[in-house]
Every structure is written in structure tokens, then in C-alpha cells.
Amino acid sequence: MDMHVHFGQEYQSKAQAPIKVEREMQAILATQHAYVTFKSGFTTVRQVGDSGLVAISLRDAINSGKLAGPRIFAAGKTIATTGGHADPTNGKALDDYDYPVPEQGVVNGPYEVYAAVRQRYKDGADGIKITVTGGVLSVAKSGQNPQFTQEEVDAVVSAAKDYGMWVAVHAHGAEGMKRAIKAGVDSIEHGTFMDLEAMDLMIENGTYYVPTISAGEFVAEKSKIDNFFPEIVRPKAASVGPQISDTFRKAYEKGVKIAFGTDAGVQKHGTNWKEFVYMVENGMPAMKAIQSATMETAKLLRIEDKLGSIESGSLQI
């Protein structure tokens, strides 16, 4: 099981990438990427953010037998604050867009947070994805700054809990992570600059860490290529790969709960298996790495009574 995928995308260099990918094309790509992932041996994934209802529709099509692919647990559209990592208007001229609203995934204050979470419940999402810090690939200088207040992330968790939804949190910087962990989120994604205080909080609260080492390795390698990334992205990409590996080693040694996740869609779909290699290279025993993609991922999804182990009554795959 892979707890961090984006089926509607696959990162291309700045020179190759189209100016805009229409939602219809994203749906076609998502169908292809889901099938490739399934054929590579991953039977369950958590889709943590897309640009609309693509993942939810794909999940339903697979569940009804219309398409072949893995089980999908979908977050729907990611929630960000204005100018945050998942604000779709970042880098655009003011004349080119209307200010996005909570239903579109941009919130400011607890009231708008509740509106956004409830919209995702209405859309049919299984969980919620928020971006509490800056990111690597967004058109912004900082990848670490906190982007949700404590009150805002508290509201996310409270609203999600009302509807029985999990909360996955994109976070590179330590302060944003700590706010999210204190609020009671289910998982921290990436966790690049996680400090020891954040690790202690995760252990205390039972928060899962989804490391996505594969994505870190990919962006660090591509940062060496001229014009692959926009110039504002390149230094962030160069720093993340080595740091994610170092953080993973420390978190595992500290005893933080770890669930397998790759961020496929940054790197190519179907190469999810590479995460096992990186985990073992960075100190996790092979059996623990396997368990991180079976038993631990099932617990994170709250389906350990059905998946994640080979025993009587389990679906087993």
C-alpha cells in the first residue's frame, strides 16, 4: 500500500511541461497511472490531493469494476491558505484569476476551514489533505514557513472528526508540523525538517510519518539539471533529498510510527517500489519496510480489520 500518490500528474521539466493541463486530460492520465501502479504490485493507495473530483471518480469507477486499478482512498482537492503551497493561483497575474474560495481549496480562518472540509465530505472524499507549510515545487521562495494558524489546523481536525475523515498533512518545516501534530492529525507527509521536539510529539500523539524519500531523491537529482525546475524551485529541490533521508533515519531510530508513501506523481508512477530500497538503505530492516506498507498503512487508513495482514477474514491484498 502506498499512502501518498497523485494520479492526475507526473512532473515534467519546465521546458516539457504544458502551460495548462485540463481536467479531462488529468482524468485520462489518472486512469493510466492507476493501472501502472496496480500492475507494479500496489493494490491500495491513498490519493492525497488533486485538482478536482478526478480521484474520487476514479475510485468509484474502480470499485464498480469499470476500470482496473488499486483501491483508492481519496482526499479530493487539497486545502491551503491564501498563497500557500496548494493555492492554484500562485504565480499568476492578478488579472488572470478570481480569488479562490473554500470550496476550491483556499481558506483563511476556522469558519472557511469548516466550509472546505464539509465540501469535501459532500464531494465524497474519504479524508482531508492540507498543506501546513510551504512546498518544494510551488512557485514560492520558502518551503518551510508555517501556513496554517493553530486555530485553523484545529478546525480542520475538528471538522474532519465530525465526518469520520482522516487528515493527512503536507509539511516540510518543523513549526507547521508541530501545530498539526498538536491538533491531532493522522499523518505528517514528507516531514523534511522535522526536529526532535516534533518527533517526541508524534510519538506522544501516535501520529504517523509518511516520508516520501523517493520524491526527495528525485527532486534533488533533477535540481542538478539546468532549466528542469523554475529558478525559484531549484534551491529548495537541491536541499530536500538529503534532508529527507536524514530525517527518516532519525525518526526510525527515535521510534516514530512510519507508513509507506512515495509521492508518486512527482516521480514516475510504477516506480513506487524504490521507496523500499531507500528505506532499507537508510537503516530500516527489510521486514520493517514491508510492514510499513502493509500492517502500518492499514492502521493509518483505519482498515486493519480488513487489510494489511494474512489471516482468517482478511482480504489479504
Domains and CATH numbers, the chain: 2-301 (3.20.20.140)
Report residue 292 CA to chain centroid gap: 16
Joined grid coordinates for residue 15: 521546458
Q: What is the value of pTM for the model shown?
A: 0.91
Instruction: Report phi then psi at 196, rounded to 5.
Output: -65, -35
For residue 160, give the nearest of 132, 118, 188 by alpha carbon: 118
Contact 240, 172 (CB under 8 A): yes
Grid cell locating 39: 500492475
The CA distance from 286 to 5, in Å, is 22
The Cα 300–Cα 93 span in angstroms is 40
Give the DSSP letter of residue 111.
H
Per-residue pLDDT of the chain (317 residues; tens, 9 = 90+): 999 999 988 876 555 555 456 778 889 999 999 999 999 999 999 999 877 789 999 999 999 999 999 999 999 899 999 877 766 666 655 555 566 667 778 899 999 999 999 999 999 999 999 999 988 877 666 678 899 999 999 999 999 999 999 999 999 999 999 999 999 999 999 999 999 999 999 999 999 999 999 999 999 999 999 988 888 888 888 888 789 999 999 999 999 999 999 999 999 999 999 999 999 999 999 999 999 999 999 999 999 988 876 665 555 55
Q: Where are the alpha helices (DSSP H) in 125-254?
A: 150-162, 174-183, 196-205, 213-222, 234-254
